[in-house]
A and B are shown apart, each in its own frame.
Chain A
Amino acid sequence: MTGAAPPPAATGAPLLEATGISKAFFGVAALTDVDVRIERGEVMALLGENGAGKSTLVKILTGAYRLDAGSIRLEGAPIEPRSVADAQSLGIGTVYQEVNLLPNLSVAENLYLGRQPRTRLGFLDGRRMQRDARALLARYGLSIDPGALLGTYSVAVQQIVAIARAVDLSGKILVLDEPTASLDARETAMLFDVVRQLKREGLGIVIITHFLDQVFAIADRVTVLRNGRLVGSKAIAELDRLSLITMMLGRELKEETLGRSGSEAAVSAEPLVSFRGYGKRGSIEPFDLDIGRGEVVGIAGLLGSGRTETARLAFGADKADSGTLIVDDQAVSVTSPETAVAQGFAFCPEERKIDGIVADLSVRENIILALQARRGWMKPLPRAEQIAIADRYIKALDIRTAHRDLPIKFLSGGNQQKAILARWLATDPRFLILDEPTRGIDVGAHAEIIRLIEDLRARGLSLLVVSSELEELVAYASRVVVLADHRHVAELSGEAMNPSAIMAAIARPHGSAEPATREVAA
């Protein structure tokens, strides 16, 4: 499972060593006394839940933030990167999740922006730039036209171009911040080939990812942060999945300890919502799916497997180009959020800040927004009623806010998530679609959201929940649909529904002709 241990550095200091790093924002500590070390020819995975301090640490190492306390030594010499460019010239390069290159420039221009080769007269030497770019990319196994616009290539290619640029500029340490988030399995493998090659060349590589499979596939050592503090740093060979998760979550999480409320709940045979051959070309292949009254159906799969696409399609945020939708034995057409809301559908999107909250509006206005939208602009909710609704949900969901009229942007992630849920509950929906409802919120809020999901199911709502928290998912769902490569590849229920079975289903090779398997325990 693990790669062979890299050859130890010849002698002396590690490639990079940071000690006693602390950083606070507005008096709130983000990092406290963190030590981290990177060796030559090593892939170090930096792990932790959202808010653990991973990105703060990376931003300090790469010069985007200044540290409050502590010291950084590169090859034994103290450094103090003042900016991203500064860190780059010291030898520390970064590639972010959303590729920070310029799609409107050519591949070669992206590789050499700011350091283009020039002729003796001071003009850009385009021909040499193309030649250099071609040679550079060849080292990464890319034989693309360096003169073409970067934006015409896939995210994976762009990602590798970004790596090529960062390594070419810096050459000692490469920081990859969630590089595989928007890549499919094949593209991820391609990226990892590049990472392994750089490792062989002696670079120190820091990779941030939340895909544990990938950690085991690529990392030599794992450093875990929790609540801004260092939990530990261990060689991957010493770790198994459970011990790693334990380091991250700080509690013994046994698969069987969580209650199995979902599968035990009585599910009416009559489905409320039935998708038949529902799909959208280039997004998700046609699928069949029934969700009963008072049932929670889970959707699992890696990012990019089509899980968010399934949720958006179900809500009409994207238009299906095949199949039918039956609600309550009636064929209906859901082609937009408006039509979905009219059917009693509701949808809490994954990207809370982009697709969920309306940041500058108050908690109250955010909560009544969907209800008001459904009533239409001509029938305003009287203010007293708005206040009553807002207060009811602030109390019921325990949304912690100083005041109902506070702009929602000042709330924490978990409370924002609860407010979005409140927005939809206020419309009294019968079918609720949740995309990663517990993403980016702290552990306490996790438990509350899960309790809420169970509550809603008990009240007879039908729920479709996308989640990468598999342990949680199997706890509250009665069935889990597994997605891979934009297809529904398996549907698990009963005893067959557990995290390892789900992961096995994801990992299983999927022939395109093979029909979705259905595994139900006897």
Chain B
Amino acid sequence: MRIDTRNLPFLATLAIFVVAYALCVSQFPAMLSTRVAMNLLTDNAFLGIAAVGMTFVILSGGIDLSIGSVIAFTSVFTAVTVGAGLHPAIVLLLVLVLTTAFGAAMGGMIHLLKMPPFVVTLAGMFLARGAAFLISTQSVPLSHPFIDALSSFYFRLPGGGRLTSIAMLMIAVFVVGAIVARRTRFGANIYALGGNPQSAELMGVAVGRTTVAIYATSGFLAGLSGIVYTLYTSAGYSLATVGVELDAIAAVVIGGTLLTGGAGLVAGTFVGILIQGLIQTYIVFDGTLSSWWTKIAIGVLLFLFIALQRTILWSTERGQASRRTAAMGAT
């Protein structure tokens, strides 16, 4: 059986998740229930949606620090405008247009100014958070029949689990994201950019357009994530979701995507989200452990995965010389 080194980090992630879940279940059999599984999905829905956008950005060799702020902005904007009497459907549409345009603008700056994405999206992070503060610094409760209908919709599963609307939305986003990444030209262009932007350009990839589209997608998904967060908490708060970009980056990297871009899978990010959720769930079940262990565990996993990728890279480079002629099937 041939294992592609491309998928090695993903398989490692999957193995870690399965083993970790099995260990958790052996200690707390109650964790093996649809209720726990579904809660895990619901609780991490907003993070998962944003992480899909982050996956695209990181695959292309970039980074987006603005998503936590954009989520907060979305939630405040939604809560305040709905509170002011606008119909939620219009508000949701409007906010998605806004965040998409915001992402596109950052992508445009990255391309036109040829500046590191890290700094441009840092400005975006400050701007979006500042805008959220300007709208309101209070936690604004949100209540509207339309919103309530959306957030309270769920399927009941055997075992008492509830597959909520936002969990379904996250899964849908992951499915669409995976299809876009692997089965569209846009997706192929993202991987090409992450491999080497100069080569990609020489090979005919429209670098500018693709960069704008990538950050626009990330902005759109951050907006969608903000909507989900608003539904989840039924409130808008400008101080919320501080540092979510770090969780999203962690999920992407733990999911096996190369932080330098060009290699990784959207499905890996899903497993990365599940691992993060699993750690939190375990801590809740344990009861004696404190929540800060989550951060430490994620930090350790981050290190392990970055080190794993580094090792794979080194071994490929070393293997290169010996494979040089061996791999030739020339006649």
Residues of A within 8 A of B (CB): 84-85, 88, 100-105, 109-110, 113-116, 118, 122-124, 126, 141-144, 148-149, 151-157, 165, 186-187, 190, 282-283
Contacts and interface: CB of A to CB of B under 8 A. Distances in A.
Contacts of A105: 188, 191-192, 195
Given A102-B196, A105-B195, A152-B316, A141 B323 contact: no
A165 B185 CA distance: 17
A154 B327 contact: yes
A100 B202 contact: yes
Nearest to A194: B330
Contacts of A84: 202, 204
A157 B325 CA distance: 9
Given A104-B195, A151-B316, A123 B204 contact: no
Contacts of A103: 195
Nearest to A193: B330
21 contacts: A100-B203, A102-B199, A102-B200, A102-B262, A105-B188, A105-B191, A105-B195, A113-B192, A114-B203, A114-B205, A116-B188, A124-B183, A142-B329, A143-B329, A144-B328, A152-B316, A152-B327, A153-B327, A154-B325, A154-B328, A187-B328
Interface of B: 4-6, 179, 182-185, 187-189, 191-192, 194-196, 198-200, 202-205, 262-263, 316, 320-325, 327-331
A101 B199 contact: yes
B323 A152 contact: yes
B321 A190 contact: no
Contacts of A101: 199, 203
A157 B262 contact: no
Contacts of A186: 325
A113 B203 CA distance: 7
Given A113-B205, A186-B325, 5 more contacts: A101-B199, A114-B203, A115-B204, A123-B179, A124-B184
Nearest to A99: B199
A149 B6 contact: yes
B179 to A, nearest CB: 7
A283 B5 CA distance: 25
Contact of A102 (B203, B322, B328, B330): B203
A195 to B, nearest CB: 14
Contact of B324 (A116, A118, A155, A165): A155
Contacts of B329: 142-144
Nearest to A191: B330
B202 A104 contact: no
Contacts of A116: 185, 188
Nearest to B6: A149
Contact of B322 (A100, A124, A190, A282): A282
A283 B328 CA distance: 19
Nearest to B199: A100
Contacts of B263: 104
B330 A141 contact: yes
Contacts of A115: 204
B327 A144 contact: yes
| Most chain B CB inside 10 Å of its own CB: which residue of A105, A118, A122, A141 | A105
A155 B320 CA distance: 9
B330 A190 contact: yes
Given A104-B195, A105-B191, A123 B327 contact: no
B66 to A, nearest CB: 26
Given A103-B195, A141-B330, A154-B324, A114 B316 contact: no
Contact of A124 (B188, B199, B204, B262): B188
B330 A114 contact: no
B191 A104 contact: yes
A153 B327 CA distance: 6
B16 to A, nearest CB: 23
Contact of A190 (B6, B323, B328): B328
A105 B182 CA distance: 11
Nearest to A189: B330
Nearest to A147: B4
Q: Which of A84, A104, A116 has the most chain B CB atoms inside 10 A of its CB?
A: A104
Contacts of A126: 183
Closest 3 CB pairs of A and B: A102-B195, A104-B262, A104-B195
A123 B184 contact: yes
